[in-house]
Structure 1
Amino acid sequence: MHPLLIVLAVALLGVALVFHLRYVALRREAHIRHAELPKGLFEKLRARHPQLSPKDCQLVANGLRQFFLAHLKSGRKFVAMPSQVVDDLWHEFILCTKNYDSFCRQGFGRFLHHTPAVVLTDDRLKNAGLRRCWWFACREENIDPRAPSRLPLLFALDAKLAIAGGFSYVPDCGGVRRAGSDGSGSTPYCGSDFCSDGVDGGTDGFGDADGGSDGGGCGGGD
């Protein structure tokens, strides 16, 4: 075969592979966004949190989809769960074994194991997962992850729904650090902390899917 034809064939195969991978990614994203959740899931969530209305439960489900999208769009890297109420729904979903396994296979191509809800601590692995989750949740809602003016849904739900033992966030604590001044009576955590290296000495996970070009430093804009 002529060398030029070989080069052309390889190039066409490369293009076909890129289109195939893009098609798979879009198909998985569509599944995560639109797949029907198991019947009775909201009732189980309301057994844990009786104050939630059906509309509230739908918001929690949207938060769970946002978390799943963060995992998918990160290249299926580890993402940590920032919300207690969304974590509770995730746990109930996992107990619907066949439904959850099918959802994972179609949404991610593999099983996604459960990890408990966490906040920034001295655990660098969990911190990286939280920063990654924050980055993609912000991107999903067109929020600047470095200088947020508001919270993405996933990080706002616990405070919005007054979840006992939940994690309360504000976009930027400013001069008020961990003083419970968000008006909820709980200890607030700061969205702006995710781009800071002041917690564990690094910013692992923050914008790493963009090759690190946006990964370090707070402030700035998109």
Structure 2
Amino acid sequence: MRWTRTAQRLAVVDGYRFSAGVRHRFTAAHADLDAAAVTLVEDAARQWFRLAARDPKAELWMPSVIVGDLWKAMILDGRGYAPLEPLIHRTASATGNRAARLATTFRLAQEDEGCHPEVLPLLFRVDRTLGIEGGTRYLADCGGRGQCHELPGAICLRHVSGTENPKRWRPDRHANIPPPGTPDAGGFGG
């Protein structure tokens, strides 16, 4: 029975088409993005919703600035997100440690794509791929063994995830993660 509900939720996400209102609102705010770039953002957003559809109780963190902007356009549109509303409200209301939520999101996104541990899934690479100003940059692994190599402007997901020396990671050392409650905080008020 659980598989059937998950399959139904995934079918809704995979069949979802972004409304003209959502696309207009989003492209008006991001006029520099061409049609292919907008499609890439939509694909990354769809991945975000698949994560929530597969694991509705997971506490997720929005890792992408540009996907967050598309999500906000969906919410402002009102009708544009109706089929996904239960997923939006679940992920938006998640609480808890933002590093743990980011690590969970990363793990689930890798599972969604079936990618190797050293590969960034679309949701984590879309900001960099599109050159989004103020976008979040990630590394699957900084290469540090035993401690994180601090790389300006990038977040090492291996060390955030706690797979290696979890006490070493501190949010202030990875400044791209905004404090909880700020408008651009990936957890949307987490």
The one of 40, 65, 85 equivalent to 2:21 is 40
The residue type equivalent to 1:191 in the other structure is L
In 1, the alpha carbon distance for the partners of 2:35 and 2:90 equals 26
- 8 A Cα contact 1:171 1:190, kept in partner: yes
Whether 1:191 and 2:160 are equivalent positions in the alignment is no
Counterpart check, 1:174 vs 2:143 = yes
1:29 deviates by 0.6
Distance in 1 (CA, whole Å) between partners of 2:100 and 2:115 is: 19
User: How far 1:25 moved relative to its partner?
Assistant: 1.4
Instruction: After the TM superposition, list the runs of 4 or more consecutive aligned residues in structure 1 that deviate by more than 3 angstroms.
Output: 110-115
Scaled by the length of structure 2, the TM-score of the pair is 0.75
CA deviations over 1:155-176 (Å, ceiling 9, x no partner): 0011111111110112221258
Aligned length: 162
Secondary structure of residue in 1 paired with 2:119: coil
- 8 Å CA contact 1:134–1:194 kept in 2: the answer is no
Superposition deviation, residue 124 in structure 1: 5.6
Partner amino acid, structure 1, of 2:101:
G
Closer, same or farther in 2 for the Cα pair 1:31/1:102, shift >3 Å?
closer
Structure 2 unaligned segments of length 5 or more: list them.
171-190
Other structure's SS at 1:27 match: helix
Q: Higher relative CO (CA 8 A, sep ≥ 6), structure 1 or 2?
A: 2
Q: TM-score, normalised by structure 1?
A: 0.65
> Shift of residue 113 of structure 1?
5.8
Give the aligned residue type for 1:195.
S
Q: How does 1:56-95 map to 2 (within 5 A)?
A: 56-95=37-76
> Do the aligned partners of residues 99 and 44 (structure 1) sit closer, same or farther apart at CA in structure 2, a change above 3 Å counting?
closer
Is contact 2:61–2:98 with CA below 8 Å preserved after alignment? yes
More off after superposition, 151-160 vs 21-30: 21-30
CA distance in 2, matches of 1:157, 1:113: 20
* Cα shift at 1:51: 1.9
| RMSD of aligned Cα (Å) | 2.3
Q: State the alpha-carbon separation in 1 of the partners of residues 39 and 75 from structure 2.
A: 17
